[in-house]
Amino acid sequence: MMRSVFLLLLTIGTFVQAHEQSDVITMYNGDQITGEVRGLGFGDLRIKTGYAPEFSVEWWHVAKIESQYNFEISTADGRRLYGNLSSNDKNGQLVFTSVEDSFVINMLEVTEIRPIEDTLADAFSYTLGASLNLEPEIATAQLKATIALATELTQSTGRLILQESTTRLPKEGGDGYRRSSNASRMMSLNLEHQRWTNRQALYRTFTAGFDYNESLNNYGRISLGAGLGKYFIDRAGLRFNGALGLQGVAEKNRYLEAVPIPPDATKTENRCVFNPSNQLIYEPSFELDVDPNDLPELEEITAILGQLEVRECKSNYATSKSVEAFASGEIALYNLTDKDFDVRVITNLYPSITESRRVRAEIGAEIAWEMLANLFLTLSSTTQYDSGKPDDDITRNDKLDYNIVMGVSWRP
């Protein structure tokens, strides 16, 4: 009850009094910064002053914080606290005061700080990036964006990847490469909403997604799911969480409908072949063993071609629905130095419940080096696997699609 009253008072204070730039941040080298603490995340303390735009300082350089305002704090042992921050005589410690208690916290045990007075827009964080591939035979361009919204009891995240790949073909004469006209496109949009009472307990997760990958015979897949997750490690420099659940899936795939072979062609192979360069599917062609000296005149060739029947297999799309289980995990490592070095790995496993022996999997990994303030050099990989439906072997290029790209990202 006391906590509810305290949170209500904090909410009222949000509308009555704005967060003025009166927080005092003392660094270990003795410098003092007077401004507004905008938040702490991944080892960076964001500060806004009246004489400069918002900037970040490394958390391990901060010795003291003095503020008369209220914050939400996450700690390495999973606690989520709501109250006021001040300092004592010892560097590297915070005095946390709430309506219920007052105690000392070591600063390196604090993993997140969020001002409760923040507006909804201030609670958002985002990353934008663009990359090109490192493989010599495939040209891949990728755009990536992430956005996150943190509130007192929830964490919402959205991730978008847009990608186009084309094969590089040698130019005539062997002088360099040219791009072929058959592009393969991939899109992935994943949304997750986490809701918990405290980080030490299980959280509820709700997921939604849309993905598209021509290489894996996926021409549009929508998924909705729910499950339970837990933060197993949540401390400065390392975060690891995982979740289990179920999701419903609706997807569109390409399939074949072959034209019957005429009676006079029963000896030919009754099989269709997918040509990705023009998205059409034909029966195999056969070459005639003819002596060039015995070739007929042009008029006779035209007459013969006019009598040939071109048989083409039909390519159609079908929508199917299924139920999958999902097991997801995310690990994030980051260092507390002047130049960030971050590593993130996200894995998702989808064993199908309604389609026998079908399994899908996704792995996304990224390494980011901070070159300039908020600007990162990135090396990332995206891998998708789909064992597929029993009847789609002909219309797909492979069961595995992956890329390795290098680029830049901006994380304000």
Element at 302 (helix H, strand E): helix 298-307
What torsion do the CA atoms of 392, 393, 396, 398 make, to the nearest 10 degrees?
A: 140
Q: Please report, for residues 49, 285, 289, the alpha-carbon distance to residue 265 in angstroms, rounded to integers and kept in the order given.
A: 82, 13, 18
DSSP string, 190-226: EEEEEE-S-TTS-EEEEEEEEEEEGGGTEEEEEEEEE
Q: Residue 224's domain is classified under what CATH number?
A: 2.40.160.40
What average pLDDT does range 181-194 have in this prediction? 86
In a 3-state reduction of DSSP, which class is residue 237?
A: coil
Q: What element of type H or E holds 15?
A: helix 2-16
Give the pLDDT of residue 258.
54
* Domain identity same for 128 and 33: no
* Residue at 135 is within a domain: yes
Residue 374 has pLDDT above 60, yes or no: yes
How high is the mean pLDDT of the chain? 77
Helix or strand or coil: residue 301?
A: helix
State mean pLDDT over 393-407: 75
Is 89 domain-assigned?
yes
Q: Which of 118, 142, 159 is the last residue of a domain?
A: 118
Tell me: pLDDT of 11 over 50: no
Which residue did the predictor score with more confidence, 363 or 295? 363
Residues 51 and 195 in one domain: no
Which of 68, 93, 118 delimits the end of a domain?
A: 118
Whether residue 286 lies inside any domain: the answer is no
Residue with more model confidence, 98 or 132? 132
Asked if the structure places residue 307 within a domain, the reply is: no
Does the pLDDT value for residue 178 go beyond 70? no
Sorting pLDDT into bands at 50, 70 and 90, what band is 172? low
Give how many domains the chain has, as a whole number: 2
Task: Give the domain-ending residue among 78, 98, 118.
Answer: 118
pTM higher than 0.95 for the full model? Answer: no
pLDDT in tens, 225-242: 999 999 888 766 788 999
Q: Quote the domain boundaries for residue 103.
A: 2-118
The predicted structure's pLDDT at residue 392: 54
- The model's confidence at residue 73, banded by pLDDT at 50, 70 and 90, is confident
How far, in Å, CA of 42 to CA of 7, rounded? 26
Q: For residue 359, which phi and psi values (nearest 5 degrees)? A: -135, 135
Mean pLDDT of 335-361: 85
Per-residue pLDDT reduced to its tens digit, 271-307: 455 454 444 444 444 444 556 566 666 666 666 555 5
- The pLDDT value recorded for residue 14 is 40
Same domain, 77 and 131: no
- Report which of 398, 404, 412, 409 is spatially closest to residue 136, judged by C-alpha positions: 404
Q: What is the pLDDT of residue 13?
A: 41
User: What does the pLDDT read at residue 381?
Assistant: 92
Nearest to 217 by CA among 30, 386, 351: 386
Assess whether pLDDT exceeds 60 at residue 5.
Answer: no
If asked whether residues 15 and 59 sit together in one domain, one would say: yes
Do residue 109 and residue 17 come from a single domain?
yes
Is residue 234 domain-shared with residue 131, that is, in the same domain?
yes
31 and 63 both lie in a single domain:
yes
Within a domain: residue 359? yes
Q: Are residues 53 and 111 in the same domain?
A: yes
Same domain assignment for residues 60 and 100? yes
Provide the token pair at 75.
């700690």
What per-residue confidence (pLDDT) applies to 401?
A: 87
Tell whether 73 is covered by a domain: yes
Q: What is the pLDDT of residues 14-42, one digit of tens each?
A: 433 445 678 899 999 889 999 888 888 87
Q: Tell me whether residue 333 is in a domain.
A: yes
Q: How many DSSP H helices and E strands does the chain contain? A: 2, 24
221 and 164 fall within a common domain: yes
Range name among 154-168, 366-380, 392-406 with the lowest pLDDT average: 392-406
Count of alpha carbons within 13 angstroms of residue 407, beta-carbon side: 20
Distance CA 171, CA 183 (A): 18
Same structural domain, 217 and 332: yes
- Greatest mean pLDDT among 71-75, 185-189, 278-282, 302-306: 185-189
Q: Are 367 and 378 in contact (CB under 8 A)?
A: yes
Mean pLDDT of 60-81: 83
In the 8-state DSSP scheme, what is residue 21?
A: S
Q: Looking at this protein, which amino acid is placed at residue 161?
A: I
238 and 355 fall within a common domain? yes
Kind of pairing between the strands at 203-213 and 177-195: antiparallel
Q: Mean pLDDT lowest for which of 122-131, 317-326, 339-348?
A: 122-131
Please check whether residue 6 is in contact with residue 100, taking contact to mean a CB–CB distance below 8 angstroms.
yes
Query: Is residue 316 one of the residues assigned to a domain?
Result: no
